[in-house]
Structure 1
Amino acid sequence: MEQHYKLERIKELADNDQDFIMALAQTFLEEVPEDAAVLKTAVENKNYKLSYQTAHKMKPTVDMFELGVLNDLIEVQDWGKFEQTDKDISSKLTVVLTAIDNAVKEIKEDFNL
């Protein structure tokens, strides 16, 4: 089975403290899907400012859990930041949202949450 997230950076940050790793996983599950939903709606409604702010907020977590879509998320962020009205960002958004959905499912299974 393909792994949709990695814990190497998390383990290093947590110094292998399993309780802290669990807390970070729970925080991911509490915040990231909610932020992803906000980002999806913001992009669909061409709310550039909210798209930028939400993508910017999500970057550290997406990077820390190594979802493999940081560059795609940055493109969505920049689309909002620079109000790139002539650019269709929907394919990048789909890549980001799919990666988040996959990671959420896998984290729930791996951590029994």
Structure 2
Amino acid sequence: MEQHYKLFRVRELADGDQDFINVLAQTFLEEVPADAKILKEAVENNNHLATYQTAHKMKPTIDMFELGVLEDLIEVQDWGKYEKKEINIIPKLEIVLAAIEQASNEIRSDFNL
């Protein structure tokens, strides 16, 4: 099965400390899905400020776990930052949310969390 997240940067940051890797995985599961829910609600409610702030907060973790959707997340962030009302950002948001859900399921399984 294809893995939708990568641990290269996580392992590099942890410098071989498996306990720290486990903590980062746990933290991902505690924060990212909750932030994704906030992001989804912010976009649905055209709350540009909350969209920008939440997407901006999520970027480092999405990048560290290499979900492959950083550019999509940046587009969502920019939609919020620049209040690009004329752009339908929902397709990009859906790509980000699907990647987060898939990675969360895989991390739960891979780390027995």
The interval holding the TM-score normalised by the smaller chain is: over 0.9
- Secondary structure, counterpart of 1:6 in structure 2: coil
Please tell me the residue identity of whatever aligns with 1:9.
R
- Structure 1 runs (4+) greater than 2 angstroms displaced: none
Unaligned runs of 5+ in 1: none
- Partners of 1:38 and 1:54 lie apart in 2 by 7
Unaligned runs of 5+ in 2: none
The Cα offsets for residues 58-84 of structure 1, whole Å up to 9 and x where unpaired, read as 000000000000000000000000000
Return the offset for 1:90.
0.2
Please tell me whether residue 14 in structure 1 is matched to residue 18 in structure 2: no
Identity, % of aligned positions: 70
Q: For residue 88 of structure 2, what is the aligned residue in structure 1?
A: 88
Give TM-score scaled by structure 2 length. 1.00
The alignment yields a C-alpha RMSD, in angstroms, of: 0.3
- Partners of 1:97 and 1:7 lie apart in 2 by 19
Give TM-score scaled by structure 1 length. 1.00
- Partners of 2:55 and 2:69 lie apart in 1 by 12
Q: For residue 53 of structure 1, what is the aligned residue in structure 2?
A: 53
Please tell me whether residue 42 in structure 1 is matched to residue 47 in structure 2: no
Task: State the aligned residue count.
Answer: 113
